[in-house]
Amino acid sequence: MSHNGSGVSHEALDVMRHSAAHVLAKAVQELYPGSKLGIGPMIENGFYYDIDSPAKFSEDDLPRIEAKMREIIVAHEPFVREEWSKQQALDHYTNVENNPYKREIIEALDADEQISFYRTGVDWVDLCRGPHVSDSGQVGPFKLLSVSGAYWRGDENRPMLQRIYGTAWQNAEQLDHYLWQLEEARRRDHRKLGRELELFFFDEVAPGQPFWLPKGLRVIKELESLLNQELHRRGYLDISTPSLAKSDLWKTSGHWEFYEQGMFKLQVEDEDYAFKPMNCPESTLVFRFKTRSYRDLPLRLSQTDRLLRNERSGTLNGLLRVRQLTMDDAHIYCRHDQVQDEITGVLEFQRAIYGVFGLEPRFYLSTRPDKAIGDPAVWDQAEADLRAALEANGLAYEVKEGEGAFYGPKIDVDVQDALGRPWQLNTTQLDFQMPERFGLEYIGEDGQPHRPVMVHRAIYGTYERFMAVLIEHYAGAFPFWLSPVQVVVVPIADRHNSYAQLVAEPLVQAGFRVEVDSRRETARAKIRDAQVQQVPYMLVVGDRDQEAGTASVRERREGDLGAKSLDEVCRLLEGRRAART
């Protein structure tokens, strides 16, 4: 049994949350006669119930429903299990209440199966497997959060029900913390901040494809620059390969068969083509370009080409789920005896980079899925190599059974942001299949051809997703080295404009990103705007500064740091940049 921090088992919490869903359903049926229940499971942090009601719910109705739920909770109504025959159950949902959803669930059960119902209070029952808390008084502090539409059985051809979401916790402190976290997450929403800080936007002419504005692209360039230094130090070689390739390539790689729905396909001169959703197959052609010897291995080929994936429009979500993505991709070709060192190197690379951002990585080993290609024995070896590399790094990891890619097992990484939320970033995959399919070979020490192993790996994952994570992690206040504008010089009056230029110039020469705000606004307004834009430093200049050759320094969090000489300012900024804070 697993436990969370408070010592309460997850199972107990799940049972309580699911029980809260029943209390919600009962409250809704009492307040809104004629409401028909769909399903009401517990979910992460809470629960929901799908309801077909003659009433159209809005968030304004939630307090009233919460009040009714509280009445039920205070009454300590027992949850009592009853066993009914299939016929009794069908009769109930035909004659007592007309509910086609519950009937559909019951129809799917075996004729001789005893069907469990739970009675809450005297005259309210719900079809359910259980388990539940012993009585409604055991439901902890809760809050209803939102209402949205949900198709019955998730099928857009079936009726749309109303889904009421709630959260429930063991104590009020946990509830408050969670509500604070939700509010904070809304404030940090990267789609909202992306517009406010002029980083990027989306337009309906190109769903799932961001338009990067100068400030957003600036941040990406800094991320690239950090990565490029590290790639160079670690012996990677950069390549770039075509966007559009013939179906032959995708058939050889297996994508045509296993990833068909994920690709944008088109015909060119009567031949089938697809835009690349991944770089891997073409990377193997670069490996094959010339004869490779064992001395050439490991060969680490990195690339950041744009990829296109045919994500359904309904699933697109800001920068987190896009159709056009830019991976910081690499494929490492190595000998079997080099696999563990290469994976070890990748894991170390990832930890070094995430450390720069204060993101805490967690590792997951995903093993062979049902829909896999290749020899099971080869899979076992690949999984053993990944385990060995994780263990050699002394990393704790969880195993996700059956969640590997169709061509090999993988190590998934997620990172925890400043709010403690996990974000899935990328995977490191060990692949014995693609070298086979593309007939990759190197000449070994014995003069004979051998198959290399292929490692697919990314550090950021995609720049799009990583940007979303960083924007929310920092709440838009990027550290100094990443900030699109690092310094705003604020002349107090028009007569200080030329001195402001003099202050800015040496900083620009030193490679800082500096703007002079010479708008005809008050200094107070300019400072406020720079603060809203999360600019790390403001250099306010007036008469006294002009005479003394100084600037009055304001830091976005620390506030006024007093007047400093231009040399001092430069050293201060250089310190921040070097420390990447």
List of residues contacting Zn ion (CB under 5 A): 128, 280, 456
Phi and psi at 530, nearest 5°, equal: -65, -35
Q: Cβ 128 to Zn ion, closest distance in Å?
A: 3
The encoded tokens of residue 153 equal 């059985």
Nearer to Zn ion, 26 or 496 (CB): 26
Q: Cβ 572 to Zn ion, closest distance in Å?
A: 43
Nearer to Zn ion, 174 or 433 (CB): 433
Nearer to Zn ion, 25 or 490 (CB): 25
Amino acid at site 200: F
Nearer to Zn ion, 125 or 128 (CB): 128
- In what helix (H) or strand (E) does residue 143 lie, and over which residues does it extend? strand 142-151
Phi and psi at 119, nearest 5°, equal: -95, 125
Contact 495, 229 (CB under 8 A): no
- CA 168 from chain centre, in angstroms, equals 24
**Which residues face 489 on adjacent strands?**
516, 539
Nearer to Zn ion, 128 or 573 (CB): 128
Q: Cβ 489 to Zn ion, closest distance in Å?
A: 46
Nearer to Zn ion, 327 or 541 (CB): 327
Nearer to Zn ion, 150 or 280 (CB): 280
Q: Cβ 456 to Zn ion, closest distance in Å?
A: 3
- Integer Rg of the chain from CA: 29
Q: Cβ 283 to Zn ion, closest distance in Å?
A: 7
Bridge-based pairing of strands 79-84 and 115-120 is antiparallel
Nearer to Zn ion, 253 or 550 (CB): 253
Q: Cβ 281 to Zn ion, closest distance in Å?
A: 8
CA proximity to 361, closest of 319, 419, 412, 430 = 412
Q: Cβ 327 to Zn ion, closest distance in Å?
A: 8
Residue 320 to residue 470: CA distance in whole angstroms: 12
Q: Cβ 104 to Zn ion, closest distance in Å?
A: 17
Contact 424, 366 (CB under 8 A): no
- CA 461 from chain centre, in angstroms, equals 10
Phi and psi at 399, nearest 5°, equal: -100, 130
Nearer to Zn ion, 128 or 469 (CB): 128
Q: Cβ 457 to Zn ion, closest distance in Å?
A: 8
CA proximity to 520, closest of 493, 502, 550, 498 = 493
| Residue reference for tokens 């959703």 | 277
**Which residues face 415 on adjacent strands?**
361, 423
CA proximity to 37, closest of 193, 135, 152, 166 = 152
Phi and psi at 360, nearest 5°, equal: -90, 115
- In what helix (H) or strand (E) does residue 135 lie, and over which residues does it extend? none
Nearer to Zn ion, 255 or 496 (CB): 255
Alpha-helix residue ranges (DSSP H) falling in 96-242: 100-107, 172-188, 190-196, 214-233
Bridge-based pairing of strands 324-334 and 453-462 is antiparallel
Q: Cβ 132 to Zn ion, closest distance in Å?
A: 5
Nearer to Zn ion, 456 or 556 (CB): 456
Nearer to Zn ion, 17 or 190 (CB): 17
| CA–CA–CA angle 104, 109, 111 (5° rounding) | 115
Residue 291 to residue 237: CA distance in whole angstroms: 17
Contact 301, 333 (CB under 8 A): yes
DSSP state of 92: I
Phi and psi at 362, nearest 5°, equal: -130, 145
CA proximity to 530, closest of 505, 552, 556 = 556
Q: Cβ 331 to Zn ion, closest distance in Å?
A: 6
Residue 52 to residue 289: CA distance in whole angstroms: 61
Q: Cβ 524 to Zn ion, closest distance in Å?
A: 53
Nearer to Zn ion, 297 or 332 (CB): 332
Exposed/middle/buried for residue 578 (C-beta within 10 Å: 0-12, 13-18, 19+): exposed
Q: Cβ 16 to Zn ion, closest distance in Å?
A: 11
